[in-house]
Amino acid sequence: MAFWRKKPTRVGAKAKTLYDGVRGRAREERWYIAGQVPDTVDGRFDMMVLMLSLLTIRLERIDSDASRELIVALHELFVEDMDMSLRQIGVGDMVIGKHVGRTMSAFGGRLGAYRTAAFAGDTDDAWARALGRNLFREEGPPEAGRWAAAAAIAELGRLNEIPDADLLP
């Protein structure tokens, strides 16, 4: 560890653990095979955003200082991850900030769409519309949108079953 880095906090450690889980779930084959999400840089980005959005929505339901601090830490990890990923695919220092800015704008837009779907009562139609726009760019097969909607609802249900205390640092 570099000398200028601070010792990890409880929030930072919990965020890292949760973020690693987000990354693992976003990489599950089922999304790319049964769900027909394109196995591309964009498709993998969209899956990371979906999984992080679902976790964010779950943490927002807790409505505490600890959950808000954890959300910030998770989003900071996402920015670091996207920065590193962009650098690995060859984006240079001179334009990295612009690309990260676009990435965060895309994340914010998708998070808003997924919040709307979640607060619409977790209905298949609301999720299918949001995922059709964001995972498939309105070009995916209808059955893939329905499958992804059911899977996203199930994932949010799984997250909602986790006790608040188990999610927080």
Q: Is residue 5 part of a domain?
A: no
The widest CA-to-CA distance across the chain, in whole angstroms, is 52
| Contacts for 1-5: CB closer than 8 Å, 24+ residues apart | none
Q: Name the 3-class secondary structure at 39.
A: coil
pLDDT score recorded for residue 104: 79
In a domain, 19, yes or no: yes
Give the range of the structural domain holding residue 31, as residue numbers without chain letter: 10-167
- Which tokens sit at 30? 């089922």
Q: What is the pTM of this model?
A: 0.88
| Domain contains 82 | yes
User: What's the pLDDT score for residue 55?
Assistant: 98
pLDDT averaged over 10-residue windows placed end to end, the chain, 169 residues: 61 95 96 92 92 97 95 93 72 63 84 92 81 83 86 95 95
